[in-house]
């Protein structure tokens, strides 16, 4: 097949499928081994689609190029969520998203086979590149928060996909606290904590680039989305699935607490799924509020997301690692029911609900959930942190050990708050 100068990158957002530098005038994707990108899936046609590059001379001896994608499938090729149609084609432009079998739904990255097209002829080289621009190609924005933005990017040499958190240094300035130190401490703290963590269920910090105006954190990229959206899609988890996921979470918290680290912002949004195939393989992320506890085992700054905060974080000057276990209890409640135990729609103010542990188990939702699961939730959502289970104790609870028959009363062993 004839080749030309590289005109594009096809960036795969499935970690099992490699990205591809486009140099051929005809590039094919499909199930057959003869394709340039092979996808082993019965839903994918032998030659699912074709990407075609053409050049045409126009006036003044200038050359114009066209890139189109041709749908050759029976199950569908979608560009920006719109079906092309069998034997039909559309022009492919920089930034277009290509998905197979089904489109993106509700703005979420649902499709298993998803690619991003990067037009190398359109993107001009940046003069005076800093080090990160030399090593990485930024693709598109994945998320935006008060700290800055997260971008999907690829490593120039290997096409490996990563997530890069960009933090403008003007975010470090906090006039209420007389300078930039308060915010800078948060980000530097996240770096210092993450660089020393090696656990399969914790997102990996790969590199840090510190430039004059921006701090860049190069992170491991996973393509399963976050647990919040997965619960939204599933509505709720079956007990066996919830057990496996929650055990992974508890083992992660046990690891962190063993290192003297308290996360302080555990919630489904900060738990990523490693891939779209698994509902239980997780990666805990966002350690911006995490802290290494002092010799007393306590921290003092009151942070976190209100619906998941333990009562002691609302009232006490200092609190300990137990606050993470309260958040775990809230997460387990949500996993099994699809509901929030504490929320703003109740008559009682949210902070008061938390201080009193004022929540319930609606019979129409929890009637099919085992007493052992409810028992574990109750032992985690305990107002008194001294009565709350530790991560290790929770890992030895009969529900986690798949010995639910040992508990027939949800209140068994529950001490009054």
User: Of 77, 113, 119, which Cα lies nearest the Cα of 95?
Assistant: 119
Write down the pLDDT at residue 181: 47
User: Of 151, 164, 232, 240, which Cα lies nearest the Cα of 203?
Assistant: 164
Write down the pLDDT at residue 180: 42
71, 265, 279, 324: the active-site residue? 265
Write down the pLDDT at residue 417: 54
Any idea where the domains of the chain sit in the sequence?
Answer: 3-119, 133-220, 227-406
Write down the pLDDT at residue 298: 62
- Is residue 48 classed exposed, middle or buried when 0-12, 13-18 and 19+ CB atoms within 10 A define those classes? buried
Q: How many CB atoms lie within 10 A of CB 145?
A: 11
Write down the pLDDT at residue 178: 45
Write down the pLDDT at residue 126: 53
CATH topology (fold) of 3-119: Tumour Suppressor Smad4 (2.60.200)
Write down the pLDDT at residue 123: 62
Residues of the chain with pLDDT under 70: 1-4, 59-61, 104-110, 122-129, 146, 171-187, 294-303, 316-317, 416-417
CATH topology (fold) of 227-406: Transferase(Phosphotransferase); domain 1 (1.10.510)
CATH architecture of 133-220: 2-Layer Sandwich (3.30)
Write down the pLDDT at residue 315: 83
Q: Where are the beta strands (DSSP E) in 173-285?
A: 205-210, 214-220, 261-262, 271-273, 282-284
Q: Is 269 a catalytic residue?
A: no
Q: Are 162 and 220 in contact (CB under 8 A)?
A: yes
DSSP state of 319: B
Write down the pLDDT at residue 35: 97
pTM (2 d.p.): 0.79
């Amino acid at each position: 097949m004839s080749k030309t100068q590289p005109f594009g990158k096809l960036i795969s957002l499935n970690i099992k499928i490699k990205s591809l530098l486009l140099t051929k005038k005809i590039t094919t994707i499909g199930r057959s081994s003869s394709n340039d990108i092979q996808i082993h899936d019965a839903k994918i046609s032998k030659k699912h689609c074709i990407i075609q590059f053409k050049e045409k001379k126009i006036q003044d001896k200038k050359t114009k190029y066209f890139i189109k994608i041709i749908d050759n499938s029976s199950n569908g090729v979608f560009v920006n969520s719109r079906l092309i149609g069998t034997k039909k084609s559309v022009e492919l432009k920089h930034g277009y998203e290509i998905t197979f079998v089904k489109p993106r739904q509700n703005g979420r990255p649902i499709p298993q086979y998803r690619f991003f097209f990067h037009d190398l002829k359109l993107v001009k080289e940046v003069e005076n590149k800093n080090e990160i621009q030399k090593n990485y190609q930024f693709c598109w924005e994945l998320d935006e928060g008060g700290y800055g933005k997260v971008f999907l990017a690829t490593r120039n040499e290997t096409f490996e996909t990563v997530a890069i958190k960009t933090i403008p240094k003007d975010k470090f300035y906090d006039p209420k606290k007389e300078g930039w130190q308060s915010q800078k401490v948060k980000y530097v703290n996240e770096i210092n904590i993450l660089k020393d963590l090696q656990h399969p269920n914790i997102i990996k910090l790969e590199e840090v680039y510190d430039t004059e105006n921006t701090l860049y954190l190069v992170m491991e990229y996973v393509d399963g989305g976050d647990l919040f959206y997965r619960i939204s899609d599933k509505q709720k988890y079956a007990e066996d699935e919830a057990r496996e996921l929650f055990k992974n979470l508890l083992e992660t918290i046990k690891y962190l607490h063993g290192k003297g680290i308290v996360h302080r912002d555990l919630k489904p949004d900060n738990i990523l799924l490693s891939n779209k195939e698994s509902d239980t393989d997780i990666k805990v992320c966002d350690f911006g509020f995490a802290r290494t506890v002092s010799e007393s085992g306590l921290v003092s700054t009151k942070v976190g997301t209100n619906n998941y905060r333990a009562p002691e974080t609302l009232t006490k000057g200092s609190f300990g690692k137990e606050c993470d276990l309260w958040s775990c209890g809230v997460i387990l409640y949500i996993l099994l029911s699809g509901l929030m135990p504490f929320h703003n729609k109740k008559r009682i103010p949210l902070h008061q609900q938390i201080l009193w542990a004022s929540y319930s188990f609606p019979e129409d939702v929890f009637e099919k959930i085992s007493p052992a699961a409810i028992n574990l939730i109750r032992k985690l959502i305990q107002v008194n942190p001294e009565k709350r289970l530790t991560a290790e104790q929770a890992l030895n609870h009969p529900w986690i050990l798949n010995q639910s028959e040992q508990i027939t009363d949800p209140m068994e062993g529950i001490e009054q708050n």
